[in-house]
Structure 1
Amino acid sequence: MSNIIIGTAGHIDHGKTALIRALNGFEGDTTNEEKQRGITIDLSFSNLSLGQQNIAFIDVPGHEKLVKNMIAGAFGFDYVMLVISANEGIKPQTIEHIEIINLLGLKEIIVVITKKDLVTTEELELKKEEILEFLQNFDFEIKFISAVSIYDENSINKLKTLLFSIKNSTKQEENFFRFYVDRVFSPKGIGTVVTGTVLGKKCEIDEKLFICQSQKETRIKNIQVHNLNVLEANISSRAALNLQNVNITAIQKGDLITKKGHIRGFDGIDISFKCLKNKKLNHNQTYTLFVGAKKIDLKVLLFDCITSLEEGYATLKANEPLYTVFGEKVILRSGNETICGGVILNPVIDPMKKNQKKRLLEALDKKDFISAYNELLEAHKKGLGIISSTQRFALSHDEAISFAKNMQNVFVDEKELVIYPLCTKDEIKDFIKEIYTKNSYALLSNASINLRLKWASTAFIQLVLDELENEGFLTKDGSLYKNANIKEDFTKDLENIILQRLKEEDITPTAPYNIYDDLDIDRKVGDDILKSLTSKKQIIRLQHNIFIHFESLNKMVKIMKEIIKEEGFIELSNFKEKFDLSRKYLITYLDYLDNFSDIKKVETKRIFL
C-alpha cells in the first residue's frame, strides 16, 4: 500500500477540521476544551483509503497561540493542504503557516478554497487569483487548486479524486529508521504505545529499537497503521508502536526512537539559518527550537557576530543532549513569534577552532563532503570514524567510503570504517622504531602494537610494518617482527631473561602482560615462554596471572610452615604481620598450602595434621 501524509495549514475558522470530517468522517476536535471553544487545539490524525492507496491526514490548529502545535505536525508532512476560506481569503495565520512550511522546505502544496457557498462565482475566481498571486512569492509547487463546500458533496468527491491522483511520498529512504514521538499513552492491558511518523526506513514487529533520550532499548510488540494491526510500517506511515518493557514515564512527546548505535546526542548543534522578513536572530539569546516533534529552549550563538543577523551560521546550545541528523530542518521561535528556519549542518560537535568550524560549515552547506572530511581530519588526526557519517552527513557507509577514496593524502580503512591523515603514519613509524631501537630483542606482532596504539587500526599499522620491512629495518617471522640486524633466534635468550626477572622479583612477581610490555614482546610469544618454563618446573603457575620462580615459592612454603610450627596455625592476619604483601599475594600463597598432604584447612586457618 502506498502512503502519503497530507497536513493542513491555514487560519483559524477557515474550515480545516470540517474539511477533514467531510472527506473521511473523522471528528478531529474531541477534547472538551476543543468542543467548548470550537477550535482545534492539538494535532489530530486520520486517514482516507482507496484500494492500495492511503492518505494520512494531520490536522493542525490555526490559532496564533497554537502555532507551536502546528509546527510539531508539519515536520511529518509530505504535502501541505493549504486551506483558505473563500469569504475571508488570506489572513495572518495563513501567512504564518505558509512561512513555516516554506522554512521547513515543504514545497509541494495543495490549495483548497473552502466555504465557496458563501461567495459568488465571480468572487471565487477573484479570490483564487489573489491566492495564486500571493503564493508566487514562494518557491512552491502547487499540485492543484480546488474550491469546495462541506455542504456540496460533488465538490468534496472531486477533491477526493484529486487527492488520490497523488501517489508518492516525498520522503526519501535514509540509512536507518527514525521516529519522533508525538503522542504517548498506555491502554489498559497493552503497555506503552507511541505514535508518530515513520522516517528513514521501515520498522517491523519484533524489531529492536532504541529510545535516545532515556538511552533505553526496547522491542516492537505490535504495530498499528490507522487502527489496523500490521507486520511493518513503511516510510510516511502514521504508526502506533506498542513498545516492550518501556514504562510510560520513560518516554515523552518529542523523544526520538531509532536503531541503537546510529545517533549520538550532543548539547550543541550547528545550523545555517534564514530569518523571516523583518526578523533577526540575536546573539547569545534564548529561543525555542522545534525539530521533529521536539520542542526545547536553548541559547543561540551566532558566528562572526555578537549582535544580530538575518541569515548565517549559528551554534545552538542546550541543557540536554540533542539527537539530530545532517540536513534536518528546524524552526526557531521567540514567544509566539516565528523568527527563522534552519538546516542542521553539524549534528556532531567536535573540539575545533572557530575559523576551522566556519570552513566546515561552509563546506557542509554546499554538501562538499570531501572538504568537510578534510576539515574534520584536522581535528581528528588519529582517525575519523566513517561509521558516524550516517549522522554527520546523512551518507551510507558505502557513500562515505566513496567520498573518502577521492581524497588526497589519507588512508582509508574500509573494514574498520576509519579515515586517517597520511601524515599520522609517521607517528606510528616513529613509535615502532623507538621500541626496536631501545630493545634489540623486541618481538611484536601487529596485534600487540595495536594494543599500545589503540587509535590506529591494524590495517594502518600493517601499512607501516610493510614499509619498515621494505626499508630493511624489520624482518618478519610468521606474524612477528624482529630487528633486522639480529639474525639469530633469540627465543632462548628471552626465556632466560624472563626466568631471571621472575627470580629477581622473588615473592612479588609482576603480572605476565606487564613483563611482555616491558620486554616489548608479543603476548603469544610471552605465553609460550611461560608455558615452556612451567613445563620445566623452573617457574610455577599459582593463578592465571601469577607465575613465580620455583626457588622463591619453595622459600615461601618453608616460611609459612615455620609460622604454623611457631604459632600453631597460619591465617591472613598473622601472615601479614610477617610479610607486608597485598591480599592478592597473601591469599594466593595460603591457597597453595592446601596442596600439601600435611596441611589442613580449618575455617580461615591452616594447621598441621
Structure 2
Amino acid sequence: MSNIIIGTAGHIDHGKTALINALNGFEGDTTNEEKERGITIDLSFSNLSLGQQNIAFIDVPGHEKLVKNMIAGAFGFDYVMLVVSANEGIKPQTIEHIEIINLLGLKEIIVVITKKDLVDDEELKQKESQILAFLKEFNFEVKFIQAVSIFDSNSIESLKTKLFTIKNSIKQEENFFRFYIDRVFSPKGIGTVVTGTVLGKKCELEEKVFIPQIQKETKIKNIQVHNQNVLEANISNRAALNLANIDKNSIQRGDLITKKGFIRGFDEIDISFKCLKNKKLNHNQKYTLFIGAKKSEVKVLLFDSLTSLEDGFATIKADEKLFTIFGEKLILRNANETICGAVVLNPIIDPMKKPQKKVLLEFLEKRDFQNAYKELLIAHKKGLGIISSTQRFALSHEEAINFAKTLKDVFIDEKELVIYPNSTKEEIKRFIKNIYTKNSYALLSSSSIHLRLSWASLSFIENVLSDLVDENFLIKENSLYKNANIKEDFTKELENIFCERLKKEDLSPTAPYNIYDEMDIDRKLGDDILKSLTSKKEVIRLQHNIFIHNQSLNKILKAMREIIKEDGFIEIFNFKQKYDLSRKYLVAYLDYLDNFSDIKKVENKRVFA
C-alpha cells in the first residue's frame, strides 16, 4: 500500500480541523479543553484511504502559543497542506508555520483555501495570487492549489481526488528503524502503547527494539496502523506500538525508539544553522531545542562569534543526552519566537579542539566524507569505529566499509569494524621494539600484546608484527614472535629463569600471569613452561595461581610439622605468628598439608593422626 503523511499548517481558526472532518469524518478536537475553547491544542491523527492508497493526516494547532506542538507534528510530514481562509488570507501563524516548514526542509506544499463561500470569485483569485507570491520566497514546490468550502461537497470531493494523485512518501529509507514517541498511554489490560511516525525503516511484529533514553530493550507486541492490527509498519505509517514490559511512566513524548547498537547519546552535538529574516542566534544563550517530537532546553555556543550570527556552526549543550543522527533537522526557539533551523552535522562528541572541529564541520556540511574521515582519524589515532558511521554519516555498515576502503594510509579491520591510521602502526612498533630491547628473551603473540594495548585489535597488532618480521626485527615461530638476533631455542633458558625466580621468591611466589607480563612472554608459552617444570617436580602447583619451588615447599612443610610438635596443632593464628605471610599463602600451605596420611584436620586445626 502507498503511504503518505500530510500535515496541516496555518493560522488559528482558518478551518484546518473542520477541513479534515469534511475529508474523512474525523473529529479532531476531542478533549474537553479543545471543545470548550474551540481550538486544536495538541496533534490529532486520522487517515483517508482509497484502494491501495492511504493518506495519514496530522492536524496541528494554529495558535501562536502552541507552535511547539505544531513543530512536533511537522517532523513527521511528507507533504504540507497549507490552509488559508479566503476571507482573512495570510496571517501571522500562516507565516510562522511556513517558516518552520521551510527550516525543516519540507518543500512539497498543497495549498487549500478554505471558506470560499465567504468571498466572491474576484477576491478568491486575489487571495490565490497573494498566497502563491508569498510561497515563492521559500522555493516550495506547490503540488496544486484548491479552494473549498466545507458546505460545498463537490469542492471537498475534488480535493480528495487531487490528494490521491500524490502517490509516494518523500522519506528516504535509512539504515535502521527510528520512531519518535508523540503520545504515550496505557489502555486497560493492554499495557503501554505509544504512537508516532515510522522513520528510517519499517518495524515488524515481535521485533526487538530499544529505547535509548531509558537504556531498555523491549519487544513490539502489537502494531496498529489507523486502528487496524498489522504485521508491520512501513516508512511514513502513523503507527501505534504496544511495547512489552515498559512502564508507561518511564517514557515520555519525544523519546526515541530504535534498534539497539545504532545510536549513542551525547550531551553535546554540532550543527549548522540558518536564522529567519531579521533574527540572530546569540552566543552562550539558552534556547529551546525541538527535534522529532522532543523538546529540550539547551545552551548554544557559536564557533565564529562571541556575540551573534545569522548563520554558521554552533555546538549545542544539553542537560541530558541527545540521540541524533547526521543530517537530522532541528528548530531553535526563544520563548514563543522561532529563531532558526539547523542540521545535525556531528552527533558524536570527539576529542577535538575547536579549530579542528570547525574543519570537520566544513567537510560534513559539504558531505565530503573522505576528508571528514581524515580529520576524525587524526583525533582517533587509536581507532575509529566503522559502526559509528551509521550515526555519523548515515551510512550502512557495508557502505561505510566500502567507503573506508577508498581511504589512503589506513588499516581496516573488517571483522572488528575499526579503522586505524597507518601512523598508529609506528606507535605500536615502538612499543613492541621497546619490549624486545629491554628483554631480548621476550616471546610474545598478538593476543599477549592486545592485553597491554586493548584499544588495538588483534588483526591490527598481527599486521604490525608481520611488518616487524619483514623488517628482520622479529622471527615468527608458530604463533609466537622472538628476537631475530637470537637464533638458538631458548625455551630451556626460560625454564631456568622461571625456576630461579620462584626459588628466589621462596614462600611468597608471584602469580604466574604477573611473571609472564614482567618477563614479556606469551601466556600460553608461560603456561607450557610451568607445566614442564611441574612435570619434572621442580615446581609444585598449590592452587591455580600459586606455584612454588620444590625446595621452598619442603622447607615450609618441615617448619609446619615443627609447629605441630610444639603446639600440638597448626592453624592460621599460630602459623602466622611464626611466618608473616598473607592469608592466601597460609591457607594454601595448610591445605597442601592435608595430602599427607599422618596429618588430620580437626575443625580448623591440623594435628598428627
Secondary structure class of the residue paired with 1:472: coil
| Residues 1:293 and 2:293 aligned together | yes
| Residues 1:119 and 2:135 aligned together | no
User: Which one-letter code corresponds to 1:597 in the other structure?
Assistant: S
Structure 1 stretch 465-474 or stretch 53-62: which is displaced more?
465-474
Structure 1 stretch 329-338 or stretch 42-51: which is displaced more?
42-51
Seen in structure 2, the aligned counterparts of structure 1 residues 557 and 313 have a Cα distance that, compared at 3 Å, is same
The match for 1:276 is: 276
The match for 1:199 is: 199
User: Which one-letter code corresponds to 1:149 in the other structure?
Assistant: S
Structure 1 stretch 128-137 or stretch 498-507: which is displaced more?
498-507
| Residues 1:170 and 2:170 aligned together | yes
User: Which one-letter code corresponds to 2:459 in the other structure?
Assistant: A
> Which string of whole-angstrom CA distances, capped at 9 and with x for unpartnered residues, describes residues 488-541 of structure 1?
111111122112212222222212111111111111111111122222222222
The match for 2:349 is: 349
> Which string of whole-angstrom CA distances, capped at 9 and with x for unpartnered residues, describes residues 237-259 of structure 1?
11111112211221111111211
Question: How far is 1:587 from its partner?
Answer: 2.8
| Residues 1:440 and 2:436 aligned together | no
Structure 1 stretch 204-213 or stretch 355-364: which is displaced more?
204-213
Structure 2 residue runs of 5 or longer lacking an equivalent are: none
Question: How far is 1:97 from its partner?
Answer: 0.2
Question: How far is 1:455 from its partner?
Answer: 1.9
Give me the whole-angstrom Cα distance separating, in 2, the residues matched to 1:197 and 1:562.
82
Give me the whole-angstrom Cα distance separating, in 2, the residues matched to 1:600 and 1:241.
68
Secondary structure class of the residue paired with 2:432: helix
Structure 1 stretch 110-119 or stretch 285-294: which is displaced more?
110-119
Question: How far is 1:122 from its partner?
Answer: 2.2
Match runs of 1:242-391 below 5 Å: 242-391=242-391
Normalising by structure 2, we get a TM-score of: 0.97
Give me the whole-angstrom Cα distance separating, in 1, the residues matched to 2:12 and 2:48.
23
Question: How far is 1:261 from its partner?
Answer: 1.5
Secondary structure class of the residue paired with 2:330: strand
> Which string of whole-angstrom CA distances, capped at 9 and with x for unpartnered residues, describes residues 64-85 of structure 1?
0000000011111111111111
Question: How far is 1:330 from its partner?
Answer: 0.6
The match for 2:475 is: 475
User: Which one-letter code corresponds to 1:409 in the other structure?
Assistant: D
User: Which one-letter code corresponds to 2:253 in the other structure?
Assistant: K
Give me the whole-angstrom Cα distance separating, in 2, the residues matched to 1:561 and 1:118.
113
Structure 1 stretch 434-443 or stretch 590-599: which is displaced more?
590-599
The match for 2:98 is: 98
Question: How far is 1:571 from its partner?
Answer: 3.3
Question: How far is 1:124 from its partner?
Answer: 1.6
Question: How far is 1:18 from its partner?
Answer: 0.9
The match for 1:567 is: 567
Structure 1 stretch 452-461 or stretch 333-342: which is displaced more?
452-461
Give me the whole-angstrom Cα distance separating, in 2, the residues matched to 1:182 and 1:593.
70
Match runs of 1:404-415 below 5 Å: 404-415=404-415
Q: Percent identity?
A: 79
| Residues 1:61 and 2:87 aligned together | no
| Residues 1:44 and 2:44 aligned together | yes
The match for 1:546 is: 546
> Which string of whole-angstrom CA distances, capped at 9 and with x for unpartnered residues, describes residues 179-208 of structure 1?
111111111122211111111111122222
Seen in structure 2, the aligned counterparts of structure 1 residues 126 and 548 have a Cα distance that, compared at 3 Å, is same
Question: How far is 1:480 from its partner?
Answer: 1.2
Structure 1 residue runs of 5 or longer lacking an equivalent are: none
Secondary structure class of the residue paired with 2:105: coil
Seen in structure 2, the aligned counterparts of structure 1 residues 530 and 112 have a Cα distance that, compared at 3 Å, is same
| Residues 1:576 and 2:576 aligned together | yes
Question: How far is 1:111 from its partner?
Answer: 0.9
Give me the whole-angstrom Cα distance separating, in 2, the residues matched to 1:509 and 1:404.
49
Seen in structure 2, the aligned counterparts of structure 1 residues 277 and 525 have a Cα distance that, compared at 3 Å, is same
User: Which one-letter code corresponds to 1:222 in the other structure?
Assistant: N
The match for 1:228 is: 228
Secondary structure class of the residue paired with 1:138: coil
> Which string of whole-angstrom CA distances, capped at 9 and with x for unpartnered residues, describes residues 367-422 of structure 1?
11111111112211121111111111111122222332333322222222222221
Seen in structure 2, the aligned counterparts of structure 1 residues 228 and 569 have a Cα distance that, compared at 3 Å, is farther
Seen in structure 2, the aligned counterparts of structure 1 residues 572 and 237 have a Cα distance that, compared at 3 Å, is farther
The match for 1:158 is: 158
Give me the whole-angstrom Cα distance separating, in 1, the residues matched to 2:48 and 2:297.
36
Instruction: Tell me the number of residue pairs that the alignment of Structure 1 and Structure 2 aligns.
Output: 609
The match for 1:32 is: 32
User: Which one-letter code corresponds to 2:502 in the other structure?
Assistant: L
Question: How far is 1:89 from its partner?
Answer: 1.0
User: Which one-letter code corresponds to 2:50 in the other structure?
Assistant: L
Question: How far is 1:35 from its partner?
Answer: 0.3
Give me the whole-angstrom Cα distance separating, in 1, the residues matched to 2:234 and 2:281.
37
User: Which one-letter code corresponds to 1:162 in the other structure?
Assistant: K
User: Which one-letter code corresponds to 1:449 in the other structure?
Assistant: I
User: Which one-letter code corresponds to 2:508 in the other structure?
Assistant: T
Seen in structure 2, the aligned counterparts of structure 1 residues 583 and 149 have a Cα distance that, compared at 3 Å, is farther
Normalising by structure 1, we get a TM-score of: 0.97
Give me the whole-angstrom Cα distance separating, in 2, the residues matched to 1:240 and 1:331.
26
Give me the whole-angstrom Cα distance separating, in 2, the residues matched to 1:586 and 1:51.
83
The match for 2:142 is: 142
Give me the whole-angstrom Cα distance separating, in 1, the residues matched to 2:383 and 2:244.
38
Match runs of 1:18-29 below 5 Å: 18-29=18-29
User: Which one-letter code corresponds to 1:425 in the other structure?
Assistant: K
Question: How far is 1:426 from its partner?
Answer: 1.1
Question: How far is 1:353 from its partner?
Answer: 1.3
User: Which one-letter code corresponds to 1:184 in the other structure?
Assistant: V
User: Which one-letter code corresponds to 1:376 in the other structure?
Assistant: L
Give me the whole-angstrom Cα distance separating, in 1, the residues matched to 2:579 and 2:247.
55
Secondary structure class of the residue paired with 1:46: strand
Seen in structure 2, the aligned counterparts of structure 1 residues 593 and 392 have a Cα distance that, compared at 3 Å, is same
Seen in structure 2, the aligned counterparts of structure 1 residues 253 and 578 have a Cα distance that, compared at 3 Å, is farther
Seen in structure 2, the aligned counterparts of structure 1 residues 141 and 474 have a Cα distance that, compared at 3 Å, is same
> Which string of whole-angstrom CA distances, capped at 9 and with x for unpartnered residues, describes residues 187-237 of structure 1?
112221111111111112222222111112222222222122222211111
Question: How far is 1:58 from its partner?
Answer: 0.9
Give me the whole-angstrom Cα distance separating, in 2, the residues matched to 1:583 and 1:415.
45
The match for 1:524 is: 524
| Pairwise CA RMSD | 1.6
Give me the whole-angstrom Cα distance separating, in 1, the residues matched to 2:217 and 2:582.
41
Give me the whole-angstrom Cα distance separating, in 2, the residues matched to 1:257 and 1:581.
57
Give me the whole-angstrom Cα distance separating, in 1, the residues matched to 2:582 and 2:503.
19
Give me the whole-angstrom Cα distance separating, in 2, the residues matched to 1:545 and 1:555.
20
Secondary structure class of the residue paired with 2:360: helix
Question: How far is 1:63 from its partner?
Answer: 0.2
Secondary structure class of the residue paired with 1:541: strand
Seen in structure 2, the aligned counterparts of structure 1 residues 533 and 171 have a Cα distance that, compared at 3 Å, is same
Question: How far is 1:591 from its partner?
Answer: 3.0
User: Which one-letter code corresponds to 1:325 in the other structure?
Assistant: I
User: Which one-letter code corresponds to 2:322 in the other structure?
Assistant: L
Question: How far is 1:176 from its partner?
Answer: 1.3
Secondary structure class of the residue paired with 1:553: helix
Give me the whole-angstrom Cα distance separating, in 2, the residues matched to 1:157 and 1:570.
101
Give me the whole-angstrom Cα distance separating, in 2, the residues matched to 1:197 and 1:43.
12
Secondary structure class of the residue paired with 2:455: coil
Give me the whole-angstrom Cα distance separating, in 2, the residues matched to 1:302 and 1:117.
50
Match runs of 1:481-500 below 5 Å: 481-500=481-500
Question: How far is 1:574 from its partner?
Answer: 3.4
Question: How far is 1:551 from its partner?
Answer: 2.4
Question: How far is 1:325 from its partner?
Answer: 0.7
Give me the whole-angstrom Cα distance separating, in 2, the residues matched to 1:448 and 1:90.
72
Give me the whole-angstrom Cα distance separating, in 2, the residues matched to 1:486 and 1:331.
67
Seen in structure 2, the aligned counterparts of structure 1 residues 565 and 21 have a Cα distance that, compared at 3 Å, is farther
Give me the whole-angstrom Cα distance separating, in 2, the residues matched to 1:150 and 1:571.
97
Structure 1 stretch 225-234 or stretch 573-582: which is displaced more?
573-582
Give me the whole-angstrom Cα distance separating, in 2, the residues matched to 1:582 and 1:217.
46
> Which string of whole-angstrom CA distances, capped at 9 and with x for unpartnered residues, describes residues 333-387 of structure 1?
0000000000011111112111111111111110111111111122111211111
Give me the whole-angstrom Cα distance separating, in 2, the residues matched to 1:559 and 1:318.
67
User: Which one-letter code corresponds to 1:254 in the other structure?
Assistant: G
